[in-house]
Chains A and B, each alone.
Chain A
Amino acid sequence: MMRELYKKTKQLFPLGDLTEQRHDLVFVSIPHPFLSSLLRHLRDKEGFSHLVLLTAVDWLERGEFQLTYLLCNRSKAWDMGVRVVLPREGATMESIHTLWPTAATYQRELKEMFGIDFPGSPGVNDDFILEGWDDIPPYRRDFDTLKFAEARFTQRPGRESLDPAQHMAKHHSDGS
């Protein structure tokens, strides 16, 4: 059971609460300085040999970025997500490309889309999808994509947009 794994690991690392999504998918949080040692422990001792993904959430109101490292134990078909929280200002995180070389690609993407730096990660400052980007990173929630699109691209006149909520309300009141 993953709960036993959690109890066992908690004696070694300052883990936060356990979130059980399914019997084979759980999430734990940990303060970010302990992250790479926890991941190394899970990889080498607990069989979580596969990094499924590394992704970020922008909690703008709290002034935080949350990173999720999703690991997979293939022999037991278990998934575990490890979450860390970073301050949003000058967000920097330790690179884990030494644990999984594929992490470098995720880290390069996070640098471009969220502006989270991973010093020492190979090619982290290279352009990934955006070339010649000169605004704030577009996945940050304070980036106004509509305003940007209107300023950067010419629109063809005559396009109509309907507000989904109003449109559906009207649709229902017609009885159709």
Chain B
Amino acid sequence: MKKELEKRTIKGPDGFEFEVDPLTDYYCDLPPTVQTPAYTRIIESFFNWARSESLWILGFGTGCGAIEMRPLMTPRFDAYRYGVQWRPTPRQANLFVISGYLSVKTLKRVIRSYEQMQSPKYVMGLGSCTINGGMYWDSYNTIKRLDDFLPVDLYVAGCMPRPEALLAGFQELKKIIRAGEGEGANEYAKRFEWYKKNQKRTIHDWDMPDYNW
């Protein structure tokens, strides 16, 4: 275990000494729960419409696909006109675009970031690397199937997909959310053990809480 994660005693600026256990003190590690839909269909549909029009992407680039985000943010493709914008922190985001190959080291950070995002949240897999490994199909260090580790709502195929393909993907994701099928966060909560088993099978130096938010 890394030194900064070990339990230790810290002396505060007022001279008071206290014990800190980073793995349990800094985050809440209660397992995720399934969020029940609103009490009537019409209200839930209204919520889903609102959700679909507010896709806030976490600014986290995992692979080469992250480069496709820049033209999308800038005037040429301008994703903001579709209600899509980028946020700097998981707390403010509800869409995680896994932009290309995902190494085991990055997967660890991706899981932590995903779990800190607020429900309902969505995952888009970008490029063939997230689908079947792509050109890294025999690599020692990249995962081959993203949906083993996170609930994926939508894949955008290509190597790399153009910004237009991403825009089409956003429109498709909106349809999925409006139809009430963007249930990734609940899926994650329901099959939590299965996802954790896959994650721990791949990440050998597991030194983080099982769930954190």
A residues with a Cβ closer than 8 A to B are: 127, 129-135, 138, 143, 145-146, 148-149, 152-156, 158-159, 161
Which applies to chain A's interface (DSSP): helix, strand, loop or mixed?
A: loop
Q: Which residue of B lies closest to A161 (CB)?
A: B137
Q: Is the CB of A134 within 8 A of B204?
A: yes
**A127: min CB distance to chain B, Å:** 8
Q: Which residue of B lies closest to A130 (CB)?
A: B141
Q: CA–CA, A135 to B141, complex, Å? A: 12
14 more CB-based (< 8 A) A-B contacts, given A129-B103, A132-B206: A130-B141, A131-B104, A131-B108, A133-B204, A134-B204, A135-B140, A138-B141, A145-B138, A148-B140, A153-B145, A154-B144, A154-B145, A155-B144, A158-B132
Task: Answer whether residue B133 sits at the interface, using C-beta atoms and an 8 A cutoff.
Answer: yes
Residues of B146-172 at the interface with A, using a CB-CB cut-off of 8 Å, are: 148
Residues of B61-116 at the interface with A, using a CB-CB cut-off of 8 Å, are: 103-105, 108
Task: Answer whether residue B202 sits at the interface, using C-beta atoms and an 8 A cutoff.
Answer: yes
Q: CA–CA, A100 to B78, complex, Å? A: 45
Which applies to chain B's interface (DSSP): helix, strand, loop or mixed?
A: loop
Q: Which of A131, A134, A155 has its CB near the most chain B CB atoms (within 10 A)? A: A131
- Set A127, A131, A153: member contacting B143, Cβ < 8 A: A153
Task: Answer whether residue B179 sits at the interface, using C-beta atoms and an 8 A cutoff.
Answer: no
- Set A133, A134, A153, A159: member contacting B202, Cβ < 8 A: A153
Task: Answer whether residue B203 sits at the interface, using C-beta atoms and an 8 A cutoff.
Answer: yes
A-B contact count (CB 8 A): 62
Give 23 CB contacts A-B under 8 Å.
Answer: A129-B103, A129-B105, A131-B104, A131-B105, A131-B108, A131-B205, A132-B204, A132-B206, A133-B204, A134-B204, A143-B140, A145-B140, A149-B137, A152-B202, A153-B133, A153-B143, A153-B144, A153-B202, A154-B145, A154-B148, A156-B133, A158-B132, A159-B132
Residues in A with CB closer than 8 Å to B33 are none
**A138: min CB distance to chain B, Å:** 5
Q: CA–CA, A149 to B140, complex, Å? A: 5
Q: CA–CA, A161 to B134, complex, Å? A: 11
Q: CA–CA, A156 to B155, complex, Å? A: 14
Q: CA–CA, A116 to B202, complex, Å? A: 26
Task: Answer whether residue B131 sits at the interface, using C-beta atoms and an 8 A cutoff.
Answer: yes
Q: CA–CA, A142 to B25, complex, Å? A: 44
Q: Is the CB of A155 within 8 A of B137?
A: yes
Q: CA–CA, A39 to B182, complex, Å? A: 60
Residues in B with CB closer than 8 Å to A161 are 137
Q: CA–CA, A158 to B132, complex, Å? A: 9
Residues in B with CB closer than 8 Å to A127 are 205
